[in-house]
Amino acid sequence: MNQSINTLPFFDKSKGMEIGIYSLGDHLRNPHTNKLISAGERINQIKEMAIMADDLGLDVFMLGESHQDGFVSQAHTVILSAIAEATTNIKLSSGASIISTSDPVRVFEDFATMDLLSGGRMEIVGGRASRIGLFELLGYDVKDYEALFEEKFELLLEINRNSHVTWNGQYRAPLNKAHVIPRPLTKSLPIWRAVGGGLSSAAAAGRAGVPMNLAMLGGPAGSFKRTIDVYRESASLAGHDPKTLPITTSGFFYTAPTIDIAMREFYPHVNEGMFQANGQGFSKQAFMHAKDPSSVMNIGSPNEIIEKLISQHELFGSQRYMAQLDFGGIPFEKIKQNIEILATEIMPKVKKYTAEKE
């Protein structure tokens, strides 16, 4: 079987499932106070979150790219570069970089440079954009949504595999023996494909033999099992060994002494955040499903979240979990509390259970 070793991140299975945090870089009002902090303060919050995660031993920090009102992560690589300089051990990644409206050469140059600055800690998650306003802003036709991503993502993978690239496509000028530098510390970067649950995107990730980053907004964990099965089946049919292809799952996270407190505190932020970012709030009925042990929303007491994470790991066979815990104008003190509990109370128990003995 084939193994796309040039794009695979390293996982030490003896240490258990990796756990980290990710931010979309949203910049939204606190629905309880109607207060909106400045853009500079929000950017510095994101940087401080990453530093805190590094200090507490979390495995990964991710930051998304967005180009619309209500976000500060338009230049996500600039923020990630500042984080790379301020941290020591934590892996850093986009979550996601919008490949459709970016030049893959520049994306690779940016992340390879950050990889050298960070001592080899950078990864890329390539995404298609769930918010499509950036297509007009950056001069692309949204009608080419799928084709743009597929062509540019394949070029990004080709650049990652080879330092000299000859390539021809529809949406970018050709490359003729182009020397793309700098090269990352280990000569190539871990490159993931972002999947929002769609089977076709999961199948494409499997065929390409790249790791999958699966975003899970809500619902029972079992509803995402089919996406993961399709990914692995497609990888196998394409000649890749699914056992070598890691999976990240990500979604809402919020912890408090009881699940009722967690739900009461977190829901206004999720509802208002979804409304401000996407024009539609989060249904209270759908949110209440978080109380179900099968829900992919990891909301509740630390022990309840530990049980959910272990159950999801057993169901999915996943290698990494990323918690979104700063969405919708949550006060920074609450964000820091959640990071600390995730790192000191939840992560050790999840890792202990999920560690594979040699």
Token pair recorded at residue 21 = 């945090």
How many CB atoms are located within 10 Å of the residue 81 CB? 19
For 81-144, what is the HEC assignment? HHHHHHCCCCEEEECCEEHHHCCHHHHHHHHHHHHHHHCCCEEEEEECCCCCHHHHHHCCCHHH
Q: What is the pLDDT of residue 280?
A: 87
Inter-residue contact 70 to 28 (CB < 8 Å): yes
**Quick check: helix, strand or coil at residue 145?**
helix
**What is the tens place of the pLDDT at every residue in 56-79?**
999 999 999 999 899 999 999 999
Inter-residue contact 151 to 136 (CB < 8 Å): no
Question: What is the secondary structure of 295-340 as a DSSP string?
Answer: BSSEEE-HHHHHHHHHHHHHHH--SEEEEE---SS--HHHHHHHHH
Token pair recorded at residue 130 = 């769930």
Half-sphere exposure at residue 53, Cβ-oriented, CA atoms within 13 angstroms? 31
Instruction: Say if residue 132's pLDDT is above 80.
Output: no
Q: What is the pLDDT of residue 243?
A: 93
Q: What is the pLDDT of residue 4?
A: 52
Which residue has better confidence, 110 or 128?
Answer: 110
Which residue has better confidence, 92 or 187?
Answer: 92
The amino acid at residue 92 is L
Cα-to-chain-centroid distance, residue 125: 7
**Options 3.20.20.30, 3.40.605.10, 3.40.50.150, 2.60.40.10; CATH of 5-354:** 3.20.20.30
Q: How do strand 18-23 and strand 60-63 relate by DSSP bridges?
A: parallel
Instruction: Say if residue 1's pLDDT is above 80.
Output: no
Categorize the per-residue pLDDT at 94 as very low, low, confident or very high, splitting at 50, 70 and 90: very high
**What is the tens place of the pLDDT at every residue in 164-204?**
999 999 999 999 999 999 999 999 999 999 999 789 999 99
The closest of 187, 186, 235 to 212, measured between CA atoms, is 235
Q: What is the pLDDT of residue 279?
A: 81
Categorize the per-residue pLDDT at 345 as very low, low, confident or very high, splitting at 50, 70 and 90: very high
Instruction: Say if residue 2's pLDDT is above 60.
Output: no
Q: What is the pLDDT of residue 145?
A: 77
Task: Name every residue whose Cβ is closer than 8 Å to that of residue 314 and which is 6 or more positions away in sequence.
Answer: none
Cα 337 from Cα 60, distance rounded (Å):
18
**What is the tens place of the pLDDT at every residue in 24-60?**
999 999 999 999 999 999 999 999 999 999 999 999 9
* pTM exceeding the 0.75 threshold for the entire prediction: yes
Categorize the per-residue pLDDT at 84 as very low, low, confident or very high, splitting at 50, 70 and 90: very high
Cα 1 from Cα 310, distance rounded (Å):
30
Categorize the per-residue pLDDT at 358 as very low, low, confident or very high, splitting at 50, 70 and 90: low
Q: What is the pLDDT of residue 23?
A: 97
Helix (H) or strand (E) holding 177: strand 175-179
Instruction: Say if residue 241's pLDDT is above 70.
Output: yes
Angle at 317 between CA 311 and CA 321, to 5 degrees: 70
- What's the whole-number average pLDDT of the chain? 94
Percent of the chain topping pLDDT 70: 97
Q: What is the mean pLDDT of residues 116-134?
A: 88
The amino acid at residue 198 is G
Q: What is the pLDDT of residue 172?
A: 92
Instruction: Say if residue 319's pLDDT is above 70.
Output: yes
The closest of 187, 194, 189, 144 to 169, measured between CA atoms, is 144
What residue spans define the domains of the chain? Answer: 5-354
Cβ-count burial of 27 within 10 angstroms (0-12 exposed, 13-18 middle, 19+ buried)? Answer: buried
The closest of 191, 243, 189 to 356, measured between CA atoms, is 243
Task: Name every residue whose Cβ is closer than 8 Å to that of residue 125 and which is 6 or more positions away in sequence.
Answer: 62, 93, 94, 95, 96, 97, 191, 192, 193, 194, 213
Alpha carbon dihedral 119, 123, 129, 133, in 10-degree steps, equals 10
Percent of the chain topping pLDDT 90: 86
Q: What is the pLDDT of residue 289?
A: 96
Lowest mean pLDDT among 134-143, 147-156, 223-232, 261-270: 134-143
Q: What is the mean pLDDT of residues 258-270?
A: 97
Which residue has better confidence, 2 or 149?
Answer: 149
The closest of 197, 258, 274, 259 to 231, measured between CA atoms, is 197
Q: What is the mean pLDDT of residues 313-330?
A: 97
Cα 15 from Cα 3, distance rounded (Å):
23
Q: What is the pLDDT of residue 217?
A: 93
The amino acid at residue 170 is Q
Q: What is the mean pLDDT of residues 301-317?
A: 98
